[in-house]
Homo-oligomer: A and B are copies of this chain.
């Protein structure tokens, strides 16, 4: 289990030893920018998760520090992210009502379970489980989640009460309550959304035109949400808009993250363990791909199993400090990297900045309208929505297209957990289906060479008593019966055949099912006096076969090359 040196479980030891002033100045700058970016984002994602705004801040403090100690990426910024916030809300929706103590405890428990799952996966080296999520399924899921998230925030923009976990439910609920729309809230929400869209699309070119460098311009646009937050808060406070029905954040407790305890109730854990698993896997997949991309730019190494440990520690930290499930965020990590973060210390400094915000700035956001936070979320998540995956997969591979389409439809129609599960099940089923009908080529000798090619594509020499099949796939349970059927069929319709040769050059494995199929084929061919032969069997496959009785009962021979097989078995002199 513990197969690496103990120090490798604490990547902090590596970079802390050589930490110097140069690294510090880079880290300080990055931390400052990320802190400014994270304050509104943390508040907004907490809202999305159905939690009080301070939960978002708390979820960004201890987790960042723990990741800095245990994580291998030097630029990854850990904290609340949109998709995981949505999944949190969806997981707890049926268990407790928003705003209750039970809801907050369920969120802590979800973080603790996620953390435990990630840690266990890391220590047991089970990171490969994340591979069950194919790229198209992730792409489809993220796109559908973006739509669900944006739709869920419309109620804050309109100032109405509405609910629902799926797109049809949300739309129905919105339409039903549309008459309660608060005009002032809508005005704030729409202007904030419009402003943030402009910041994202129009501000950077403007700043470039007035002479700022591309990096500075890029960094400044990240402060857009802060401007929206400040402006709308001031407006509400100055004009007393909260008295006109504009919902505001209200009283936010002032202080450092509290010490909290997740629940250990078996009933609650039973309800949350599947959502926690999905959150862990989705979070890990998102995080690792960001980490790999950023690390590659500096030829740094990412250890996926240690990443699991880092994210696990971060989530357990969130569970004990009033947070909720977290993972590495894409946008903030890129900002962190671009701003010059040299080591994970940048994260630790960001955590200090956010702690100061939690202690000193929370009274200032009392009048912050929730519509502004909703606008922040909507603008952020719409960049996740990307339907081009549908056209890309349609051109490249129909199987992948069906996985994407099913994931999107099920996520929108039945919710996030059903969506991910359906996508995973369908990818696996389609993969097994594809490999269950491997490409089998009947081959013959290319004249004047020792090469064998498909008899239907090339002019090749064959012998009527000899059937040579090249199977372009490993033999395992899903295609074992196919081979039985194929050979039974071929031999039943051609009574000249005296020898069957399986050319095994593309076979990387033969499992026990396939071995038993080969035995059945050998036995059945034997009853009609046809011999079964093998050629070009790979070393590891041959080692395995030698452990079985198959080679002893084989009616034919095993040839090193197909050319040897042909020379030995062909009935016609010309072919020898």
Query: Which residues from chain A sit less than 8 Å from chain B, CB to CB?
Result: 128, 130-137, 288-289, 292-293, 295-297, 299-302, 304, 392-393, 395-397, 399-400, 427-428, 431-439, 472-474, 476-482, 484-485, 488-489, 491-493, 495, 506, 508-509, 511-513, 515-517, 520, 523-525, 527-528, 540, 544, 547-548
Contacts of A396 in B (CB 8 A): 512, 515, 544, 547-548
By a CB distance below 8 angstroms, the chain B residues around A132 are 432, 477-478
- State whether A289 and B520 are in contact (beta carbons under 8 Å apart), knowing that A512-B136, A528-B296 are contacts in the complex: yes
List the B residue with the shortest CB-CB distance to A489: B301
In the complex, what's the smallest C-beta–C-beta distance from A213 to chain B, in angstroms?
A: 20
Q: List 29 A-B contacts (CB under 8 A).
A: A131-B479, A131-B482, A134-B513, A135-B512, A136-B512, A136-B513, A137-B477, A292-B484, A292-B485, A292-B520, A292-B524, A293-B520, A296-B492, A296-B528, A297-B527, A297-B528, A304-B485, A392-B548, A395-B548, A396-B547, A397-B512, A397-B544, A399-B511, A400-B511, A427-B477, A431-B478, A431-B511, A438-B508, A439-B508
- Name A126's closest neighbour in chain B (CB-CB): B433
Chain B contacts of A480 at CB under 8 A? 131, 134-135
Chain B residues positioned under 8 Å from A482 (CB to CB): 128, 131
A431 touches B508 (CB 8 A): no
Complex CA gap A516/B433 in Å reads: 22
With a cutoff of 8 Å between Cβ atoms, the chain B residues found around residue A393 in the complex are 512
Chain B's nearest CB lies how many Å from the CB of A86? 23
**Known contacts A395-B548, A488-B295, A527-B297; A477/B431 CB under 8 A:** yes
Residue of A304, A428, A491, A512 with highest tally of chain B CB at under 10 A: A512
**A301 contacts B493, C-beta separation under 8 Å:** yes
Number of copies: 2
Query: In the complex, A478→B479 CA distance in Å?
Result: 18
Taking a contact as CB atoms under 8 Å apart, the answer to whether B437 and A128 are in contact is: yes
List B contacts of A130 (CB < 8 A): 481
Docked-complex contact A508 and B473, CB < 8 angstroms: yes
- What B residues does A508 contact at CB under 8 A? 438-439, 472-473, 506
* A523-B293 Cα distance, complex, nearest whole Å: 9
Given contacts A289-B520, A292-B488, contact A135 B301 (CB under 8 A): no
Q: How far is the CB of A572 from chain B (nearest CB, A)?
A: 23
Which of chain B's residues has its CB closest to A301's CB?
B492
Residues of B within 8 A of A431 (CB): 476-478, 511
Given the complex, which residues of B lie within 8 Å of A435, measured CB to CB?
A: 474
Structural contact, B128 and A433, CB atoms closer than 8 A? yes
Q: Contact at A495–B299, with CB atoms within 8 Å? A: yes
With a CB–CB cut-off of 8 A, which chain B residues contact A517? 135
> With a CB–CB cut-off of 8 A, which chain B residues contact A528?
296-297, 299
CA A489 – CA B304 in complex, angstroms? 11
Q: How far is the CB of A296 from chain B (nearest CB, A)?
A: 3
Task: Kindly identify which residue among B133, B134, B295, B495 contacts A511, using a CB–CB cutoff of 8 Å.
Answer: B134
15 additional contacts, CB 8 Å, given A293-B523, A300-B492?
Answer: A128-B436, A128-B478, A131-B480, A134-B476, A134-B512, A135-B480, A292-B484, A293-B524, A296-B528, A297-B527, A301-B492, A304-B481, A304-B485, A397-B511, A397-B544
Query: In the docked arrangement, what's the CA distance between A11 and B361, Å?
Result: 82
What CA separation (Å) do A66 and B395 show in the bound complex?
45
Contacting pair B485 A131 (CB below 8 A) = no
The answer to whether B296 touches A488 (Cβ under 8 A) is yes
A477 lies within 8 A of B299 (CB): no
What chain B residues lie within 8 Å of A509 (beta carbons)?
434
Q: How far apart sit A435 and B491, CA to CA, in the bound complex (Å)?
A: 32
Q: Which residue of B lies closest to A304 (CB)?
A: B485
Q: Are B428 and A432 in contact (CB under 8 A)?
A: yes
Task: Write out the residue numbers on chain B whose beta carbons fall within 8 Å of the beta carbon of A472.
Answer: 508
B131, A400: Cβ atoms closer than 8 Å:
no
Q: How far is the CB of A414 from chain B (nearest CB, A)?
A: 18
| Contact residues in B for A489 (Cβ distance below 8 Å) | 301
A295 to B487, CA, bound (A): 13
Closest residue of B by beta carbon distance from A296: B524
Q: In the assembled complex, which residues on chain B have CB atoms less than 8 Å from the CB atom of A525?
A: 296
Q: Which of A132, A477, A491, A493 has the most CB of B within 10 A?
A: A477
Given contacts A135-B516, A477-B431, A528-B296, contact A301 B488 (CB under 8 A): yes
Residues of B within 8 A of A495 (CB): 299
A438 to chain B, nearest CB (A): 8
The complex places the Cα of A522 from the Cα of B136 at a distance, in Å, of: 19
Residues B547 and A395 in contact, CB atoms below 8 Å apart: yes
